[in-house]
Chain A
Amino acid sequence: MTPTIDPAQPMLSVRDLRVSFGRGRNTVEAVRGLNFDIAEGAWYGLVGESGSGKSTVLRAVSGLLLDWTGEIAVSGRRQQPHRSRAFHKLLQMVFQDPYASLHPRHTVDRALSEPLSIHRIGEADRRIERTLMDVGLDPSFRYRYPHQLSGGQRQRVAIARALIVEPRILLLDEPTSALDVSVQAEILNLLHRLRREHDLTAILVSHNLAVVAHMCERLGVMQNGEMVEELTVDQLRASAPLHPYTRQLLRASAGYDPRALATLEETA
């Protein structure tokens, strides 16, 4: 089932990706010519503020957004806007708000059986139980409705739903920003473990530099639809970013500092 992958080839590569919304004079270019590659097994962070286009990139890569130009290749295969069912088995996405990403009238069981039934995967019972265990949920959660779950538990269900088809790539759209910090830690640890156990490749979109630094090895910093800088997390830690915008984000994430504001306002 797993497609053979040339180790030299990136798991995911994006070339000159452009997305614009609206028409005529109201056209907004949300993504302007983006390029990046992610090797198999790597976790890549996309950082930026609202309107920077980082979520739009995920929507284009995932296949939710159909109107884009450029090239998107996943495990060596160039993708058209409309994706095949096999693509969706290869790549799954976890959304930001666990309160919005689960169908309010479907039990956990139904949410997890749906992908199995779409991809005609058998042994649903065994798989659902195993995946629930995998994301740290007791089997007693299986027949609960989303409103009976906490935010962290819902996000675990959303992760289970993505993992149950055994994808190779995960797209994570701010997976912890709607959660309390103590729950965030639990979910980040869970993702860490799943990454090791399932050998996953991922893009993590976040506005939180610390979360990206914790989860990824490399990151791209986006501003106004462009990638202003691509760097490794080690470079980020060493406070070596070159681009003033990255430095600004780094400084702002350290907390409130009136002295830092002077430099902020120069670039704002």
Chain B
Amino acid sequence: MTGELSPILEVEELEVRFHTRQEVVEAVRGVTFALGREKLGIVGESGSGKSVTGRAILRLVPAPGETRARWIRFEGTDLLGLTERQMRRIRGKRISMVLQDPKFSLNPVMTIGAQIVEAYRIHTGASLAAARQRALEMLEAVRIRDPERVYGAYPHELSGGMGQRAMIAMMLAPDPDLLIADEPTSALDVTVQMQVLAIIDDLVTSRGMGLIFISHDLNLVASFCDRVLIMYRGRVVETCRAEELHQARHPYTRGLLASLPRIDQPASDLPVLERDPAWAR
């Protein structure tokens, strides 16, 4: 399913639990998947565990969360066996993450250029001049027309779409093998969203990276990704090829799709999703 090449990432029986004073919340329950050099979408509603899954791969689940898995193999190495120090060398350099809102991920008091340079040098130890060169290249790669200006700009001086492009430039500068994008375009307007997606698409394909694309938007994932995992209450209820999502078999997936209003089909009432407790078992 992941092509002839060995997978970049293999996740086996991933469990994430949050211990609170009253109860134990099982956010992710027994998630297993493998990822090749492809675009894998993870879709689900809020509370499905899709974002927690993305963070768990990078071992970034905040306390009081507890991550367990048989293994999380990244190019053959089990990430769960690494020390925090070794993990820091993986994060950002080999596996990068892009979050929903660039406003919260970019440092407001540093220029875009300085942030890309800093991130790049931490991971590669390159010289300042080389890092600057690389930063400008990356800004060009995300189709920013005036890289010099954006390089010297502060995050608040950029629009949402520009900020997210800069964020992608920063994350892809060290040439990671895997990009985890958690709702990377949800804060953007639809037209800008398309442009940012095209940039991610190009970069991922041309560099032969793996992409985990976490989103709540079924139509977007169906049209953008190669393969889709559908999550419900911490479990993967269905896996399918993206173009076959609209013929999905699981009642949850079908229910979600049916509940979307459609421009081409007028309807007086939308079918409401009836949740079957059996799905969560």
| Touch A–B, Cβ below 8 Å | yes
A: residues with CB less than 8 A from B are: 49-50, 151, 180-182, 184-186, 188-189, 192, 207, 209-211, 213-215, 233, 236-237, 248-250, 252-258, 260-261, 264-265, 268
Chain B residues whose CB sits within 8 angstroms of the CB of A181 once the complex forms: 45, 216, 218, 256, 259-260
B: residues with CB less than 8 A from A are: 45-46, 160, 189-195, 197-198, 201, 216, 218-220, 222-224, 255-256, 259-264, 266-273
Question: Taking A180-B45, A182-B45, A182-B273 as contacts, is the C-beta distance between A255 and B264 under 8 angstroms?
Answer: no
Cα A252 to Cα B161 with chains together (Å)? 15
The residue that A261 contacts in the complex, of B45, B198, B216, with Cβ under 8 A, is B198
- Evaluate contact between A237 and B264: CB separation under 8 angstroms: yes
Across the interface, name the chain B residue whose C-beta is closest to A214: B261
Among B195, B224, B261, B271, max chain A CB count under 10 A is at B261
Cα A100 to Cα B267 with chains together (Å)? 31
Chain B residues whose CB sits within 8 angstroms of the CB of A185 once the complex forms: 259-261, 270-273
Across the interface, name the chain B residue whose C-beta is closest to A180: B45
Across the interface, name the chain B residue whose C-beta is closest to A49: B189
* Extra inter-chain contacts (11) besides given A185-B261, A252-B194, CB under 8 Å: A49-B189, A50-B160, A151-B46, A180-B46, A184-B259, A185-B260, A192-B268, A210-B262, A236-B263, A249-B190, A268-B191
The residue that B267 contacts in the complex, of A49, A186, A214, A261, with Cβ under 8 A, is A214
Across the interface, name the chain A residue whose C-beta is closest to B261: A214
Chain A residues whose CB sits within 8 angstroms of the CB of B261 once the complex forms: 184-185, 188, 210-211, 213-215
List 29 A-B pairs, Cβ < 8 Å.
A49-B191, A49-B192, A50-B160, A50-B189, A151-B46, A181-B45, A182-B273, A184-B259, A185-B270, A186-B272, A188-B261, A192-B268, A210-B260, A210-B263, A214-B261, A214-B270, A215-B261, A236-B263, A237-B263, A249-B191, A252-B190, A253-B263, A256-B194, A256-B220, A257-B194, A257-B223, A260-B194, A261-B194, A261-B195
Nearest-Cβ distance from residue B203 to partner chain A, whole angstroms? 13
Chain A residues whose CB sits within 8 angstroms of the CB of B271 once the complex forms: 185
- Evaluate contact between A237 and B266: CB separation under 8 angstroms: yes
The residue that A255 contacts in the complex, of B45, B195, B222, with Cβ under 8 A, is B222
Across the interface, name the chain A residue whose C-beta is closest to B259: A185
Among A185, A192, A250, max chain B CB count under 10 A is at A185
Chain A residues whose CB sits within 8 angstroms of the CB of B194 once the complex forms: 252, 256-257, 260-261, 264
Cα A15 to Cα B197 with chains together (Å)? 39
Chain A residues whose CB sits within 8 angstroms of the CB of B223 once the complex forms: 254-257
Nearest-Cβ distance from residue B165 to partner chain A, whole angstroms? 13
Cα A215 to Cα B192 with chains together (Å)? 25
- Evaluate contact between B269 and A189: CB separation under 8 angstroms: yes
Across the interface, name the chain A residue whose C-beta is closest to B271: A185
- Evaluate contact between B263 and A209: CB separation under 8 angstroms: yes
Across the interface, name the chain A residue whose C-beta is closest to B201: A258
Nearest-Cβ distance from residue B142 to partner chain A, whole angstroms? 14
Chain A residues whose CB sits within 8 angstroms of the CB of B216 once the complex forms: 180-181
Chain A residues whose CB sits within 8 angstroms of the CB of B255 once the complex forms: 182
- Evaluate contact between B218 and A264: CB separation under 8 angstroms: no
Across the interface, name the chain A residue whose C-beta is closest to B202: A258
Cα A252 to Cα B217 with chains together (Å)? 13
Nearest-Cβ distance from residue A250 to partner chain B, whole angstroms? 7
Chain B residues whose CB sits within 8 angstroms of the CB of A236 once the complex forms: 263
Among A253, A256, A264, max chain B CB count under 10 A is at A256
Chain A residues whose CB sits within 8 angstroms of the CB of B267 once the complex forms: 214
Nearest-Cβ distance from residue B53 to partner chain A, whole angstroms? 17
Cα A182 to Cα B253 with chains together (Å)? 11
- Evaluate contact between A188 and B270: CB separation under 8 angstroms: yes
- Evaluate contact between B259 and A207: CB separation under 8 angstroms: no
Chain B residues whose CB sits within 8 angstroms of the CB of A210 once the complex forms: 260-263
- Evaluate contact between A207 and B263: CB separation under 8 angstroms: no
Chain A residues whose CB sits within 8 angstroms of the CB of B256 once the complex forms: 181-182
Across the interface, name the chain A residue whose C-beta is closest to B224: A256
Cα A215 to Cα B268 with chains together (Å)? 9
Chain B residues whose CB sits within 8 angstroms of the CB of A256 once the complex forms: 194, 197-198, 201, 220, 223-224
Across the interface, name the chain A residue whose C-beta is closest to B260: A181
- Evaluate contact between B191 and A252: CB separation under 8 angstroms: yes
Nearest-Cβ distance from residue B232 to partner chain A, whole angstroms? 11
Nearest-Cβ distance from residue B103 to partner chain A, whole angstroms? 13
